[in-house]
Amino acid sequence: MIYGIIPARFASTRLMGKPLAEIGGKPMIRHTWESASKSKLLDDIIIAVDDDKVYKVARNFGANVMMTPKDIATGSDRLAFVAKSLDHAKIIVNIQGDEPFIPARMIDEAIEPLLFDKNVSVSTLASRIKTVEDYKSSSVVKVVFDYESHALYFSRSPIPHVRDAKNNFMKIRAAEIYKHIGLYVYRKDALLNFTRMEQTDLEQTEKLEQLRMLENGIRIKVVVTEHESLSVDTPEDLEKARIFFERHYKQKK
């Protein structure tokens, strides 16, 4: 079975109570769950929470919810905590709880490599950077990958460096530069193995836990998507999400 797990941590440092932040009259975590529920490949979706309030809200709108300890350090560790209890799980999809309008097709695109190639144990998504703002931003993670679409490196800095370009605009025009989209698909054993590993040097330097996999020789398949997803990390992002909802969702009702 293929399980989608949505880690929903209440105590976000930049936006406290983020899963319950209201967008268009619904908590953000409900938007994420409803978006993910449109996937054609997921067999089930579980919201992994660490707070009673989020647990009750998610149960009330009909989600399958599991309570996890508050002291779990990362979303991947919370994912693994849930995965251990899923005896029939073969593939685990980490769906970020702060992406309320994630297109279901993005989720399916990330899953497909594991269905068609038994040698792929982890996959993720990337999309082409189109603005200088994204290129320069340290909150937008960049990824470079080889000719078989396996990740070579992830960084908060602009990579690759386009030496001959005279300015940042010319850099993103002259080369295909990609941003990482933080949706991961794991074979269950790969996820549990990854979360048992100690943090690595590059991981701690860049503050990117996916580098732990690369440093330990785990290959990550990168799927380039044409779709976009809005991530909510700050109060400013939340306001953007509310505007997006008014423009693209409310009008459909």
Q: Is 75 part of a structural domain of the chain?
A: yes
DSSP strands (E only) in the chain: 2-8, 22-23, 26-27, 44-49, 64-67, 91-94, 122-128, 142-145, 151-155, 178-187, 221-224
The phi and psi torsions of 100 (rounded to 5 degrees) equal -65, -25
Q: On the CB side of 129, how many CA atoms lie within 13 Å of its CA?
A: 28
8 A C-beta contact, residue 143 and residue 180: yes
Q: How confident is the model at residue 252 (pLDDT cuts 50, 70, 90)?
A: low
- Please tell me the number of Cα atoms within 13 Å of 218 on its side-chain side: 21
Quote the domain boundaries for residue 6. 1-102+229-253
Radius of gyration of the chain (CA): 18
The reply to whether 144 falls in a domain is no
Considering the domain boundaries, does residue 115 fall inside one? no
Is a pLDDT exceeding 70 seen at residue 165?
yes
Measured on CA atoms in the order 163, 161, 178, 246, is the torsion positive or negative?
A: negative
Domain CATH number, residue 253 = 3.90.550.10
pLDDT band (50, 70, 90) for residue 10: confident
Residue 59 lies inside a defined structural domain of this protein: yes
Per the domain annotation, does 243 fall within a domain?
yes
Q: Which of 182, 184, 162 is CA-nearest to residue 173?
A: 162
Tally Cβ neighbours within 10 Å of residue 215.
Answer: 14
Q: How far is CA 208 from CA 32, 59, 76, in A?
A: 23, 32, 12
Evaluate whether residue 135 is within a structural domain. Answer: no
* Percent of the chain whose pLDDT exceeds 70: 98
Considering only CA atoms, which of 35, 31, 29 is closest in space to residue 49? 29
Longest Cα pair distance anywhere in the chain, in angstroms? 56
Domain count across the chain:
1
Residue 250 lies in a domain: yes
What does the alpha-carbon distance between residue 209 and residue 191 come to, in Å, rounded to a whole number?
A: 12
- Tell me the mean pLDDT in the region 40-62: 95
How much is the pTM?
A: 0.92
pLDDT of residue 73: 80
- The pLDDT value recorded for residue 250 is 67
Domain-embedded: residue 13: yes
Q: Enter the DSSP assignment of 250.
A: G
Residue 229 has pLDDT above 90, yes or no: no
